[in-house]
Amino acid sequence: MVEFHVDRGSGFPAYLQLGQQVREAMRLGWLQPGDRLPTVRDVVATSGVNANTVLKAYRELELAGLVEARQGSGTFVKGTLGSAAPEVLDPLREGLAKWVAEARSAGLEDEDIYALLREVLSGGAQ
């Protein structure tokens, strides 16, 4: 089950943060088809966002074809998002964790790390 966290200072709308967290959990294999998302009430209690915000996030995910709402049962994961197998992800995660630790010990903050990652992903650091 995914646990939602909303960063109110990010400038990124809460409903988009919730949707992104579901997508990331699907990509990492933490959410599989058939898994139930937390109830709106549970998300409100743990993240402090408004129920309408959670409903909007779930609605956006449903429109994208990623989840389906079942009347009286909840919201369930409908598909997958190109998740690699754990045996592929685990060593990559370990290597990335070591790299992040090195970056932090070199004095980089999270925003610096994000900027470097975006640069590499965009092909800017060749």
Q: How confident is the model at residue 125 (pLDDT cuts 50, 70, 90)?
A: low
Burial 39-56 (b: 16+ CB within 10 A, else e): ebeebbeebebeeebbeb
Q: What is the CATH number of domain 14-77?
A: 1.10.10.10
Would you kindly state where each structural domain of the chain is located, as residue ranges?
A: 14-77, 86-121
Q: Which residues lie below 8 Å from residue 3, measured CB to CB, with a gap of 6+?
A: 38, 46
> Mind listing the pLDDT tens digit for each residue in 56-109?
999 999 999 999 999 999 999 997 777 677 788 889 889 999 999 999 999 999
Mean pLDDT value across residues 40-66: 94
